[in-house]
Structure 1
Amino acid sequence: MTPRTPDAVTVFGPDFPFAYDDWLTAPEGVGSIPPEHHGAEVAIVGGGLSGLVAAHELLRLGLKPVVYEGARLGGRLRSEHFGGPDGPVAEMGGMRFPISSSTFFHYVRTLGLATAPFPNPLTPASRSTVVDLEGETFYATSLDDLPDLFREVADAWDGALDRILHLGGLQAAIRRRDTGALKAIWDALVPLWDDRSFYDFVATSEEFQALSFRHREVFGQVGFGTGGWDSDFANSMLEILRVVVTNCDSDQHLIRGGADQVPRGLWSRRVDDAAHWPEGTSVESLNGGSPRGSVTGIHRVRDSAGTATDRIAVTDESGETREYPAVLATCQSWLLTTQIACDEELFSQKMWMALDRTRYMQSSKTFVMVDRPFWNDVDPATGRHVMSMTLTDRLTRGTYLFEEGPEDPAVICLTYSWMSDALKMLPHPAERRMELALEALSHIYPGLDIRSHIVGDPITVSWEDDVHFLGAFKGALPGHYRYNHRMYSHFVQQAMPPEERGLFIAGDDVSFTPAWAEGAVQTSLNSVWGIMAHFGGSSPATNPGPGDLFDELGPIRLPD
């Protein structure tokens, strides 16, 4: 990936249009803390992308990040390798990263990782796509190969977005990084659409009302960009608009060798420009080579008289308790009430409401390794590929094909499903999930013996069944904007009562763009600024940080 070009659409807002990529790369740096605080420990609860971005940047500021992780480093960037560390990859979590994620790709470039276009439907990377609906199968290499119905759906979607939600104007402002124009449009849309769902938008728009129910049904099954979106129909329309206005659902790349190389690379990367620490210091070296175990408690430290101090105690699964002047929790917010015993006073009651009302979406994937990318074989009778990237209303929903070389072992994501479709898989072990997927695909490709190419055992995941996650990612419902605002704004703590300061939160579920790595990175950088300010530090006047511009550019506040 090359650095972003001028006038590119990036994840620049729209709620908080702060240029994180520019802040990170400015020659004067992101800021500094007073030397008397150099070497101070900061607890990082969670070793996923957000936690390790923060750990990396706090190290550079001269602080000592102490990482706690109950599962394994990487979080929901979980890359499983078939047949050993050099084998083909099954991405169990995040697998496709829009090039508009300019801050995330700053770290990809810093680590020297290679990327490739993701094989989404109807893109050159997928070569061909099969859409199978109600037992009817269509083969296509572009939208023009599909029946007029699909073009009508796409045109209705594009037209409604621009007419009702000013998509063109929003993207023009993002391209120019014109914060005034962007906020003028977006801040007017928030109160109009916070209470309305994605399906409400589709069903009530003039563009879709002029068509049939079948058009709306096809839109839900096949969708736009990455595939069907009916599992998101209940979500707030604001959340969907953020995805399309920032091009998160188009021009996506995968990370060659596995997405978990990003957080793991930040864990092990030796830093030569850190304050206080010697050249070659890494987060890994400061943590003695491995993170501490999962966190079971977070409490405010009290003195012998019972008076609250400015320190926070973190207890891990071994029973050991350590005290810190600051703690960053990057775990999913539900864990703060289900897995971790937290003092109530650490958050306001309104914040607890927001953390508990976060709604997580279910997600299931099942992968198999195959002997070679046989799907590139051409059927002599039809002149078509024998198998393609597949979108269907059957149990599999989305089937993706990944390859390296023409004769190398390859990977099929047999099924990628959400919400109720994912719950259908939840009770079943990996072998049964594979059998169910193969049965569904046999109706779409009746003459193809997929099973004969499978090598080894399937790999599967249901994120809602994992005690460390309890779901794949946040899916905000109508009326959740206020909750999101509270969580996102929490890093600016100067006006908070003393008992609520020092505990920070970050992660994609704290962001306004859940499910996207960029949201995890941006909220992590918010927390870095907040922790820097907590230690009495600041950003340079010539390179102000997110907290410095929050009053000017921050998200619009809706009345309670």
Structure 2
Amino acid sequence: MSPARPPVTAFGPDFPFPYDDWISHPAGLGRVPPEKLGTEVAVVGAGIAGLVAAYELLRMGLRPVVYESSRLGGRLRSQPFEGADGIVAELGGMRFPRSSTAFHHYVDLLGLRTEPFPNPLTPAAPSTVIDLHGRTYYGRTLADLPPFFTEVADAWASALEEGAGFEALQEAIRNRDTATLQRLWHELVPLWDDRTFYDFVSASKAFAGLTYRHREAFGQVGFGTGGWDSDFPNSMLEILRVVTTACDEDQLLVTGGVEQVPQGLWRRAPEHPAHWPAGTSLSSLHGGGTRPGVARIHRVDPDTIRVTDVHGVERDYGAVLTTCQSWLLTTQIRTDESLFSQELWMALDRTRYMQSTKTFVMVDRPFWRDTDPATGRDVLSMTLTDRLTRSTYLFDHGDDRPGVICLSYSWMSDSLKMLPYPVEKRVDLALRALRKIYPDVDIASHIIGDPITMTWESDPHSLGAFKGALPGHYRYNRRMYCHFVQDDLPSAERGIFMAGDDVSWTPAWAEGAVQTALNAVWGIAHHLGGSCAPENPGPGDRFAELAPPALPD
């Protein structure tokens, strides 16, 4: 029997460092000098990036001091429905690719369960309805749909092979063949950085041989996880990263809510931490709660950065990690301009965030599994449509427990349509749209409890769902991503670090937040005089070998 192919993981392609191997190595992530043990390090933001970094810094024997202006977990936010044990609405991140091996390291560390996410046309979705141009199509797999949809999926696969050498890229990622991956990816960076996703699709031979309706359907309802049109203005490089690292397929949800991951890291006492007694956790170091939000960050001497919280309390640190969205460093936190170069400020300020809205209801039972006696079909299905709702997801917790319907998951201009309205109006609009697809199904009669909604662009601590890089933004992204390696920076710009999915190459994915958090852990330890074990070098130790290519200015 031939050996199984290695899986696709989030290995590169911009910086092909094996984060999963690094964090699971028995030698650990590194050590700081004995005199630095117990040193306080400020961590601004208690999302997944902040808490992964804080947890690993604690393991090293440092004392992370975590600041949070909103709520622990950031955009991994699982909002419980009142009165229902363990039934949640995933307001931020909700589907986590199996390829996100660094993120799943922490899921497994906490003993959390995962299960397949009910994406359309996957076994986890009992059935799928595509409603396009007023016509409805029903199926359980792509093969059940008219050939038109197979033509769309095949054209996309052909376009990827034609324009990016997709199979060879993925094979290099599977085999962790760094030399081949770098050679292939470095050729694609200047080719696709300044061209849009839509340009890639429309200019491909695969789609050129089809009709406009094929491209339109790809944008409206797509394949697998849904339509792609909200990403059409983005740089094609961003889309290539998503598909080559399999972020768009084989996705999982965290049973009971993904917020358990940041909450678990906050409360978990690492085994055998340096310096700290057994049983020490981030929670115990903080007396149970994070510090308040940050109002100001400024340097007071060459080795000290002062953080002032919203109540005016000042504390001085030798190193500071910011994990908040980059715009907050100018709009919410007064940050000394001298802490970053003007080129880096340009990158931070030009970061472009995408809008997103979700609206959820809890229902008395998973009634969508009922069979329509007239058609023999499920009465309600996972739904992709060009109507206002765009995507509707169904979450089944068993026959004897309430179910959850994400009535609408929308992006960009579709999200802005919801922005002014309260939750009741949003539910009404969604139900009206779904009634046109399912005229004989009374969804409202099954709703129990209060609905839950979230629009991320209206959240003052987020200002958007996540980054969506525009054409020409590769240089900006590189400046942000590579900032954790600071030996060549002026002394006035050292000691402050950044992490988060908007600093990563893969915005919107928790894996990117985790990887940049681990970069920052290496950077902080290095800044304080620490080092990695020779048998387990960190991302900064291999930076010269693996660094993303630099495009000319």
TM-score under structure 2 length normalisation = 0.99
Partner of 1:284, secondary structure, is helix
Deviation at 1:407, TM superposition (A): 2.7
Q: For the structure 1 residues 86 and 6, does the alpha-carbon distance in structure 2 shift closer, same or farther, using more than 3 Å as the test?
A: farther
Unaligned runs of 5+ in 2: none
Deviation at 1:87, TM superposition (A): 3.6
Deviation at 1:127, TM superposition (A): 1.1
**Which letter maps to 1:452?**
S
Asked whether the equivalents of residues 272 and 281 of structure 1 are also in contact (C-alpha less than 8 Å), the reply is: no
Cα distance in 2, alignment partners of residues 75 and 148 from structure 1: 42
What is the 5 A alignment of 1:258-337? 258-301=257-300, 308-337=301-330
Cα distance in 2, alignment partners of residues 534 and 147 from structure 1: 59
Asked whether the equivalents of residues 82 and 450 of structure 2 are also in contact (C-alpha less than 8 Å), the reply is: no
Structure 1 stretch displaced more, 158-167 or 76-85: 76-85
Deviation at 1:554, TM superposition (A): 1.1
Partner of 2:219: 220
2:399 to 389, 402, 406: 406
1:419 to 396, 412, 415: 412
Partner of 1:170, secondary structure, is helix
1:541 to 534, 540, 546: 534
**Which letter maps to 1:47?**
A
What is the 5 A alignment of 1:456-475? 456-475=449-468
**Which letter maps to 1:15?**
D
Asked whether the equivalents of residues 119 and 224 of structure 2 are also in contact (C-alpha less than 8 Å), the reply is: yes
Query: After superposition, what is the alpha-carbon deviation per residue over 1:220-272, rounded to whole angstroms, capped at 9, x for unaligned?
Result: 01113210010000000000010000000000000001000001100000122
**Which letter maps to 1:336?**
L
Query: After superposition, what is the alpha-carbon deviation per residue over 1:317-372, rounded to whole angstroms, capped at 9, x for unaligned?
Result: 11111100000000000000100001100000000000000000000000000000
**Which letter maps to 2:510?**
A
Partner of 1:489: 482
Asked whether the equivalents of residues 117 and 251 of structure 1 are also in contact (C-alpha less than 8 Å), the reply is: yes
Deviation at 1:309, TM superposition (A): 2.5
Partner of 1:107: 106
Query: After superposition, what is the alpha-carbon deviation per residue over 1:390-415, rounded to whole angstroms, capped at 9, x for unaligned?
Result: 00000000000001111310100000
Cα distance in 2, alignment partners of residues 458 and 354 from structure 1: 38
**Which letter maps to 2:520?**
S
1:515 aligns with 2:508: yes
Partner of 1:490, secondary structure, is helix
Partner of 2:148: 149
Partner of 2:302, secondary structure, is strand
**Which letter maps to 2:221?**
V
Query: After superposition, what is the alpha-carbon deviation per residue over 1:175-203, rounded to whole angstroms, capped at 9, x for unaligned?
Result: 11000000000010000000000000000
Query: After superposition, what is the alpha-carbon deviation per residue over 1:399-451, rounded to whole angstroms, capped at 9, x for unaligned?
Result: 00001111310100000000000000000000000000000000000000000
Query: After superposition, what is the alpha-carbon deviation per residue over 1:495-515, rounded to whole angstroms, capped at 9, x for unaligned?
Result: 100100000000000000000
Asked whether the equivalents of residues 197 and 235 of structure 1 are also in contact (C-alpha less than 8 Å), the reply is: yes
Cα distance in 2, alignment partners of residues 442 and 407 from structure 1: 26
Partner of 1:425, secondary structure, is coil
Deviation at 1:86, TM superposition (A): 2.0
Q: For the structure 1 residues 85 and 299, does the alpha-carbon distance in structure 2 shift closer, same or farther, using more than 3 Å as the test?
A: farther
Cα distance in 2, alignment partners of residues 163 and 198 from structure 1: 14
Partner of 2:406, secondary structure, is strand
Deviation at 1:456, TM superposition (A): 1.5
Partner of 1:480: 473
Asked whether the equivalents of residues 272 and 278 of structure 1 are also in contact (C-alpha less than 8 Å), the reply is: no
Cα distance in 1, alignment partners of residues 391 and 428 from structure 2: 16
**Which letter maps to 1:63?**
L
Cα distance in 2, alignment partners of residues 427 and 549 from structure 1: 48
Deviation at 1:83, TM superposition (A): 2.1
Deviation at 1:84, TM superposition (A): 4.2
Cα distance in 2, alignment partners of residues 38 and 288 from structure 1: 20
Cα distance in 1, alignment partners of residues 194 and 162 from structure 2: 19
**Which letter maps to 2:315?**
R
Cα distance in 2, alignment partners of residues 46 and 253 from structure 1: 25
Cα distance in 1, alignment partners of residues 459 and 228 from structure 2: 24
Partner of 1:8: 7
Query: After superposition, what is the alpha-carbon deviation per residue over 1:148-198, rounded to whole angstroms, capped at 9, x for unaligned?
Result: 110111111001101220110000001110000000000100000000000
**Which letter maps to 2:446?**
H
Deviation at 1:89, TM superposition (A): 1.0
Cα distance in 1, alignment partners of residues 33 and 484 from structure 2: 20
Asked whether the equivalents of residues 162 and 204 of structure 2 are also in contact (C-alpha less than 8 Å), the reply is: no
Partner of 1:378, secondary structure, is coil
What is the 5 A alignment of 1:39-78? 39-78=38-77
Cα distance in 1, alignment partners of residues 83 and 346 from structure 2: 44
Asked whether the equivalents of residues 379 and 386 of structure 1 are also in contact (C-alpha less than 8 Å), the reply is: yes
Query: After superposition, what is the alpha-carbon deviation per residue over 1:471-527, rounded to whole angstroms, capped at 9, x for unaligned?
Result: 000000000000000000000011100100000000000000000000000000000
What is the 5 A alignment of 1:30-45? 30-45=29-44
**Which letter maps to 1:226?**
T
Asked whether the equivalents of residues 370 and 378 of structure 2 are also in contact (C-alpha less than 8 Å), the reply is: yes
Cα distance in 1, alignment partners of residues 456 and 190 from structure 2: 32
Partner of 1:304: none
Cα distance in 1, alignment partners of residues 272 and 184 from structure 2: 41
Unaligned runs of 5+ in 1: 302-307
Cα distance in 1, alignment partners of residues 409 and 533 from structure 2: 45
RMSD (CA atoms): 0.8
Partner of 1:199: 198
Partner of 1:11, secondary structure, is coil
1:95 aligns with 2:88: no
Partner of 1:384, secondary structure, is coil
**Which letter maps to 2:346?**
M
Query: After superposition, what is the alpha-carbon deviation per residue over 1:368-401, rounded to whole angstroms, capped at 9, x for unaligned?
Result: 0000000000001111000000000000000000
Partner of 1:342: 335
What is the 5 A alignment of 1:109-258? 109-258=108-257
Structure 1 stretch displaced more, 22-31 or 477-486: 22-31
Cα distance in 2, alignment partners of residues 110 and 256 from structure 1: 15
1:365 to 348, 358, 363: 358
Deviation at 1:15, TM superposition (A): 0.2
Cα distance in 2, alignment partners of residues 408 and 54 from structure 1: 37
Asked whether the equivalents of residues 369 and 411 of structure 1 are also in contact (C-alpha less than 8 Å), the reply is: yes
Cα distance in 2, alignment partners of residues 397 and 126 from structure 1: 17
Cα distance in 2, alignment partners of residues 99 and 512 from structure 1: 18
Structure 1 stretch displaced more, 348-357 or 78-87: 78-87
Cα distance in 2, alignment partners of residues 337 and 467 from structure 1: 13
Deviation at 1:85, TM superposition (A): 6.9
Partner of 2:417, secondary structure, is helix
Query: After superposition, what is the alpha-carbon deviation per residue over 1:5-36, rounded to whole angstroms, capped at 9, x for unaligned?
Result: 97110000000000000001111111100010
Asked whether the equivalents of residues 119 and 126 of structure 1 are also in contact (C-alpha less than 8 Å), the reply is: yes
Partner of 1:552, secondary structure, is helix
